[in-house]
Amino acid sequence: MAYPMQLGFQDAASPIMEELLHFHDHTLMIVFLISSLVLYIISLMLTTKLTHTSTMDAQEVETVWTILPAIILIMIALPSLRILYMMDEINNPSLTVKTMGHQWYWSYEYTDYEDLSFDSYMIPTSELKPGELRLLEVDNRVVLPMEMTIRMLISSEDVLHSWAVPSLGLKTDAIPGRLNQTTLMSTRPGLFYGQCSEICGSNHSFMPIVLELVPLKYFEKWSASML
C-alpha cells in the first residue's frame, strides 16, 4: 500500500512489477545523465565571456548529437519492449476472475466452478475500525490464491473505470462493452491495495480494490464459505 511522503513505487509483489522497477531505475539513470549534461552545459555558457560569432557549419558535432540520442532511445526501447512482451506471455492461468466496474464500486465473479459473485464497496471513514486504512478498505475483499497465475477479465457496466493494483504492476481499463484481460501472479501472501484509475464521476476516488492473497487451501475454504 502507499504510505505518507512516499517518493518511489510500492514494493513489488509480482515478477512483472520487479521488472518494471528495474526498468524504471535504468531509465531514470539515463534521465539523470542527460539532465546533468544539459545543466553543466548551460552553466558553462552562462559563466564564460568567450564567443564564436562566425560559425558556418558543424558537421561533426551535429552527427554526434544525432547518433547519440538515437542510441539512447534504443537503449530505452529494448528493455521496454522486452517487458511489454513478457506481460503478454502465454502462462496457463489456474483461475479466471471477472471484475465489473460500476458507479461507484467493483463487483467480482468467480464462475470457473460455481457461481460466486459479490460487490465490493469502500468502507466509509466513519465505519473504519482502528488500524484500517482510510479510503482504501472494502467490505468484501478479492480473495485469491498466492503464487498462482490468475486471469482477470475486466469490464464495466456503465462508464470508464480502471482496475489498478500498483504493487502487482497492474492497471487495466474497464470499458463498457469490452472485455480486457490481464494476468495476475503474486509472489507473497498479504493485502494489496489499489484505486480506480479512470475518472468516473463524483465518487471516483472512493471505489478502491483490495486483493487478499492467501495459500490455495484457504482460498478454497473461503470460496466454499461464500457460496
Nearer to other proteins, 141 or 161 (CB): 141
- The position carrying cell 503474486 is 186
Q: How far is the CB of 151 from other proteins (least distance, A)?
A: 20
Whether residue 155 contacts residue 178, with contact meaning beta carbons closer than 8 Å, is answered with yes
Q: How far is the CB of 114 from other proteins (least distance, A)?
A: 16
Nearer to other proteins, 112 or 147 (CB): 147
The distance from CA 10 to its chain's CA centroid, rounded to whole angstroms, is 10
| All cell numbers assigned to 145 | 490464491
Nearer to other proteins, 158 or 212 (CB): 212
Nearest CA to 132 among 191, 89, 182, 52? 191
Q: How far is the CB of 37 from other proteins (least distance, A)?
A: 4
The Cβ of residue 114 has, within 10 Å, a number of other Cβ atoms equal to 10
Nearer to other proteins, 127 or 147 (CB): 147
Summarize as ranges the residues that interact with other proteins (CB under 8 A).
12, 18, 21-22, 25-26, 28-30, 32-34, 36-37, 40-41, 44, 48, 50-52, 140-141, 143, 146-147, 187-191, 212, 214-215, 218-219, 221-222
Q: Directed axis angle between helix 15-46 and helix 59-87, to 10°?
A: 160
Q: How far is the CB of 107 from other proteins (least distance, A)?
A: 17
DSSP character for 16?
Answer: H
